[in-house]
Structure 1
Amino acid sequence: MDIQYKKLTYAELDEFINMRIAQLTEEYISTGRTVPEGVDLKLSLKDYYERHMTDGTFVSWLAIDGDKIIGTSGMSFVEKPPYFTCPTGRLGLLSSMYTNPDYRRMGIARELLHRVVEEARAYGCGAVHITASDMGVKLYTAYGFTHNGNFMQYRLDV
């Protein structure tokens, strides 16, 4: 097995989107929820990734075995008013962390995480945020992420 790492390009985008949907489905099911019927994310994801890859506010690293993508990562860059612990106001939003089940526990996710965290550092981000799945908490904690007990969300029905 010879795992290679590369940045996502438009050529891999459709496969990346399929893996993102697989990740979201796995996370939904693991929490006992049923994936909502009639929700097709493919077009919305393609639109999002194309726009943000083009303007430089989304980057992804892939793990590849031969010609097969076996792991993904993603970092979106956002900006908000600067504050004491993030004087640049630039934040990285980590997403799309997924490793094919046959390749888990081999250090692939950690390598992908490291690469996108370094992208956030290069972009000038003062922090990286993630809403971690139960599966991912150990990886992120081991890397140095800490819990933010004040994180809250208000859902807007659209």
Structure 2
Amino acid sequence: MQYKYATADDMELLIRSREETLRAVNRLPEDYAFSEEFLEASREYFREGDQTTVLALEEGRIAGCATMCYIDMMPTFSHPSGRRAHLMNVYTHPDFRRQGVGRTMVSMLIDESRDRGITEISLDATEAGRPLYRTLGFRDSDECMVLELNQE
């Protein structure tokens, strides 16, 4: 298994992995077509966004992906740098599950986050993913409230 930090040269792999992840997580059909607006916004984020994505590849095939999005916020006493991160799109193809792929990708991103001075990593976990995240030190939290602003 090859693990790599994605670059702009990996754009089509990044888009393919994002599509596969979203189809699986949202239980969409394999032939579900994402809008061009969505795909272009994803490309733009991979090009310009403050993020790091790890790809797991097996003989050129995408085995998994994971993205850490970096966020600058106003500093607080518990987070004096104001540097936080949100882990997204952690996905391992079914053929490669239970082999440490997800753990390796997330561990790489956690290490990089420490190097960048990040003081907190958040994530939205599926029930299937929670056990992995707990073993990596994440804890469940009920400290947060969310207001979703849907743009119609």
Runs of 4+ in 1 over 6 A off after TM superposition: none
Partners in 2 of 1:19 and 1:153 — Cα distance? 28
Unaligned runs of 5+ in 2: none
Q: Deviations for 1:49-94, whole angstroms, at most 9, x for unmatched residues?
A: 1112xxxx21111111111221111111111111222121100111
- Structure 1 residues 3-53: Cα deviation after superposition (integer angstroms, max 9, x where no partner): 111110122222222221221222223xxx99xx8852211101111112x
Q: Does 1:152 align with 2:145?
A: yes
Q: Which moved more, 1:76-85 or 1:105-114?
A: 76-85
Partner of 2:26: 28
Change beyond 3 A, Cα 1:51–1:93: same
- Distance across 2 between alignment mates of 1:47 and 1:126: 26
Moved more, 136-145 or 15-24: 15-24
Looking at structure 2, the residues matched to 114 and 24 of structure 1 have their Cα atoms a distance apart, in angstroms, of 22
- Kept after mapping to 1: 8 A contact 2:8/2:46: no
The letter for the 2-side match of 1:48 is Y
Give me the TM-score of the superposition, normalised by structure 2: 0.88
**What is the RMSD computed on CA atoms of the aligned residues?**
1.9
TM-score by length of 1: 0.85
Instruction: Map 1:48-63 onto structure 2 (within 5 A).
Output: 48-52=45-49, 57-63=50-56
After superposition, residues 6-21 of structure 1 pair within 5 angstroms as: 6-21=4-19
Identity rate, percent:
26
Selected match of 1:43 from 21, 32, 40:
40
Letter of the 1:94 counterpart? L
